[in-house]
């Protein structure tokens, strides 16, 4: 089996590099989300105040809180395990799902060590948006209350959605919708500002794009998934 997988990987890695339409779309989407995040800085305080005043309908709150399971590390692990059990390819789908989801979350969490920002639950909703940024390069000195930027949960959810859409393209709209609800949950829970969530989504798209067949690593993932049992 290991020889078959190695041979398949060698053939796939040696294949000519062609631009992946999916990867290109993801990169463009990531850039659009990053631009929207910059623009959202002007709306962050208004959105935070809207949520703080309890204006989100109760039924919507219940729905988005369920969607958090798509972004939380433990339940994401269970989703990946479920895919490995139900998919005929078995464990071969795990590398793509784990790398895209947890890789995006890890990258977002790493950025938290570079920029300290108050969470909406602690910030003065009547203040200025720049006041929510505490310091630059806080590294290990930043605590949970100053790790609003960017949203690691949203990055994880979007990375997972991209990987699931690659493996099961018929459900792309459902995965995208759940990821969007996960992002909204981070705003509704006053854990992140709108711009934090948009940057997290951008990171998820970029990591997802890196796992496509347009990259050497993506071609390796495809080889792993295509390898026959034996």
pLDDT in tens, 36-80: 999 999 999 999 999 998 888 888 888 999 999 999 999 999 999
pLDDT at 28 over 50: yes
Task: Answer for the pair 132, 192: CB distance below 8 angstroms, yes or no.
Answer: no
Say which residue, 5 or 143, is predicted with more confidence.
143
What distance in Å separates the CA atoms of residue 38 and residue 124, rounded to the nearest whole number? 20
Question: What pLDDT is recorded for position 10?
Answer: 47
What distance in Å separates the CA atoms of residue 116 and residue 201, rounded to the nearest whole number? 19
Question: What pLDDT is recorded for position 141?
Answer: 58
Q: For residue range 179-213, what is the model confidence (pLDDT) as tens digits?
A: 999 999 999 999 999 999 999 999 999 999 999 87
What distance in Å separates the CA atoms of residue 25 and residue 51, rounded to the nearest whole number? 32
Task: Answer for the pair 146, 134: CB distance below 8 angstroms, yes or no.
Answer: yes
Nearest partner of 192 among 142, 102, 117, judged by Cα: 117
Task: Answer for the pair 153, 194: CB distance below 8 angstroms, yes or no.
Answer: no
Q: For residue range 99-108, what is the model confidence (pLDDT) as tens digits?
A: 999 999 999 9
Say which residue, 15 or 36, is predicted with more confidence.
36
Alpha-helical regions (H) of 113-193 = 152-167, 172-188
Q: For residue range 107-121, what is the model confidence (pLDDT) as tens digits?
A: 999 999 888 899 999
Average per-residue pLDDT for the chain: 88
Task: Answer for the pair 162, 210: CB distance below 8 angstroms, yes or no.
Answer: no
Question: What pLDDT is recorded for position 125?
Answer: 74
Question: What pLDDT is recorded for position 6?
Answer: 47
Domain with CATH 1.20.144 in the chain: 21-212
Nearest partner of 102 among 147, 149, 155, 140, judged by Cα: 155
pLDDT at 136 over 80: no
What distance in Å separates the CA atoms of residue 132 and residue 146, rounded to the nearest whole number? 9
Is residue 12 very low, low, confident or very high in pLDDT (cuts 50, 70, 90)?
very low
Give the range among 22-31, 119-128, 133-142 with minimum mean pLDDT.
133-142
List Cα–Cα distances, 225 to 72, 74, 93, 167, 219, in angstroms.
25, 24, 6, 9, 10
The residue written with tokens 């995208």 in the block is 176
Question: What pLDDT is recorded for position 187?
Answer: 96
Which CATH fold would you assign to the domain 21-212? Vanadium-containing Chloroperoxidase; domain 1 (1.20.144)
- pTM, full prediction: 0.88
């Amino acid at each position: 089996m290991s020889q078959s997988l190695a041979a398949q990987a060698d053939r796939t890695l040696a294949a000519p590099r062609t631009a992946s339409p999916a990867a290109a779309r993801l990169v463009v989407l990531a850039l659009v989300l990053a631009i929207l995040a910059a623009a959202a800085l002007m709306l962050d305080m208004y959105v935070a105040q809207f949520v703080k005043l309890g204006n989100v309908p109760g039924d919507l709150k219940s729905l988005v809180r369920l969607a958090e399971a798509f972004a939380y590390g433990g339940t994401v692990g269970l989703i990946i395990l479920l895919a490995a059990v139900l998919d005929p390819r078995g464990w071969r789908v795990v590398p793509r799902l784990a790398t895209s989801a947890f890789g995006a979350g890890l990258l977002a969490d790493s950025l938290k060590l570079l920029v300290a920002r108050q969470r909406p639950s602690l910030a003065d909703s009547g203040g200025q948006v720049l006041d929510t940024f505490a310091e630059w390069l806080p590294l290990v000195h930043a605590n949970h209350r100053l790790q609003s930027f960017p949203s690691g949960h949203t990055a994880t959810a979007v990375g997972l959605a991209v990987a699931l859409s690659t493996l099961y393209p018929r459900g792309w709209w459902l995965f995208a919708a759940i990821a969007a609800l996960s992002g909204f949950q981070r705003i509704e829970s006053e854990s992140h500002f709108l711009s934090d969530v948009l940057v997290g989504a951008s990171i998820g798209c970029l990591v997802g794009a890196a796992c496509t067949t347009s990259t050497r690593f993506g071609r390796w993932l495809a080889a792993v998934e295509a390898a026959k049992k034996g």
